[in-house]
Amino acid sequence: LPIEMYLQDIDLKGSQLNITTVSRFPEDQVIMPIIDNFIKKINSDPTFTDDFSEFKSLGYDEETVDEKRMIVYRFTAKLKRSN
């Protein structure tokens, strides 16, 4: 996981959960393997999967702030229906 990943926004509409995070990445660091690993960890965490399914990436935007590489990343998941 990125060392500094911060939640920017969490939105639950109906059964759709949308999460936006912000993280600083060094210029030489490849983003996708880290994000893929993060998604795998979330999808295997019973605390999350008891209530949500289909945690996946919606993509990211890259910005430079004060000469630092910042990644704004979006994820989504579905709330499981209770029986």
Confidence at residue 2, expressed as pLDDT on a 0 to 100 scale: 57
- Residue 74 contacts by C-beta under 8 Å, 6 or more apart in sequence? 18, 19, 20, 21, 57, 58, 59, 60
Q: Considering the chain, what is the average pLDDT of its residues?
A: 89
Nearest of 30, 17, 18, 11 to residue 2 by alpha carbon: 30
Buried b (16+ CB within 10 A) or exposed e, 17-41: bebbbbbebeeeeeeeebbeebeee
pLDDT classification of 28: cutoffs 50, 70, 90: confident
pLDDT in tens, 43-56: 999 999 999 998 99
Q: How high is the pLDDT of residue 1? A: 52
pLDDT interval class at 67 (50, 70, 90): confident
**According to the model, what pLDDT value does residue 83 have?**
56
**Per-residue pLDDT at 8 exceeds 70:** yes
